[in-house]
Amino acid sequence: LATPTSIMVGVGKGAEAGVLFKNSTALEQAHKLTAIVLDKTGTITRGEPAVTDVIVSEQLAVIGDQYSVNGGQTTVSEGLLTDHRLPAADYWLALAASAERGSEHPLGEAIVRAARERELLLDEPQAFEGIAGHGIAATVNGRRVLIGNRRLMEREEVMLNGLGAKAEQLQNEAKTAMWLAVDGQATAIVGVADTIKEGSKTAVQQMHAQGLTVVMMTGDNDATAQAIAREVGIDRVFAEVLPGDKASYVAQLQEEGYFVGMVGDGINDAPALAQADVGLAIGTGTDVAMEAADVTLMRGDLRSVPQAIHLSKATMRNIKENLFWAFAYNTALIPIAAGVLAPFEWAPDFLRQLSPILAAGAMAFSSISVVSNSLRLKRVKL
């Protein structure tokens, strides 16, 4: 009874707190964690990015015969937004949103949402391609449109048109700089920011108090990642991580000697969750992530992570206490029942010739002690 009763009560206590352990192994292993890897989007942050800036290249004059930028105004001669005269920032935002209409990425959805909030007219892209870890490529009214990170611009040999410094400025403000390029020319930078979840900073502080090294992993550039890490209190940062490489970074920490927990919410996090010694999925995330994880945090709150670890420690301590009581009764009474005290006249008669009734009662009391001690877990404060 010593182990199963503690595990049963511990799993039930976790469920009450919104921490679902898939199996007993996860509950038994969580207390060993020495490092926690946190995915940024949807885990540390809300995963609801919003457009904060649209910065147009000052060097841009004309791209083809479709549109030109003069004095901050964009005149559209044909195709997209025909007969509309818009500020340059609105025009490029509308073009970016038109290209992103086929995207399911949170950053793409933020661009589309911002354009619609400004009541800008959008066109349907004739072609759309998602480029993992880089961005998207689309065709809008015959124009090749690229939206993504600096790596995408470099890969496609895009002319940056003086926007590099603007992108760095946004990144230092913990914003994601989305580059917009049309026909090989960078035209604008769209700044997107995600709000840090309430409780993320407190959760990281609690993990530090538990002696954990806290690591953040993100596909964002290093400047943006470092800005968020400073705000939350992260120890180490893995930035510009491609979706398919997340598991390898977890393996790297394991090779360094860490017992690693991974916290994530997306489809791309599933391999890393499976690679980790203990995978913890945010309950507000995808089904794939929850299937790959050992623990599901139903409340979507990072503060559930230190709660899960604390519960694991309390459960393992409770199991050891149960084993002590179980072995204490048996160690003391089995020799007595075998007559080890019979030759000693100083011993009480009921111990020199132990009654089977007393022996049976002691065994029953042993079980009662184990169960009662296990139930104490229900009073553990998480």
The residues that are catalytic are 39
Tokens linked to 65: 């015969």
| Identity at 58, one-letter amino acid code | E
User: Which backbone phi and psi does 353 adopt, to 5 degrees?
Assistant: -130, 80
Tokens linked to 126: 């004739």
Do 226 and 248 touch, CB atoms closer than 8 A? no
CB count in 10 Å sphere of residue 270? 22
Cα→Cα distances 55→88, 94, 195, 200, 221, Å: 9, 13, 21, 30, 18
Helix axes 164-172, 222-232, angle to 10 degrees: 10
| Identity at 222, one-letter amino acid code | D
Bridge partner residues of 53 (DSSP)? 191
Q: How many CA atoms lie within 13 A of 367 on its CB side?
A: 6
Which CB contacts under 8 angstroms, 24+ apart, belong to 289-296?
Answer: 289/264, 289/265, 293/22, 293/264, 294/21, 294/22, 294/23, 294/25, 294/26, 294/29, 295/19, 295/20, 295/21, 295/22, 295/26, 295/30, 296/19, 296/20, 296/22
User: Count of H helices and E strands in the chain?
Assistant: 14, 17
User: In sequence order, what are the residues at sequence separation of 6 or more whose Cβ sits closer than 8 angstroms to the Cβ of residue 295?
Assistant: 19, 20, 21, 22, 26, 30, 278, 279, 280, 281, 308
Do 99 and 145 touch, CB atoms closer than 8 A? yes
| Identity at 79, one-letter amino acid code | G
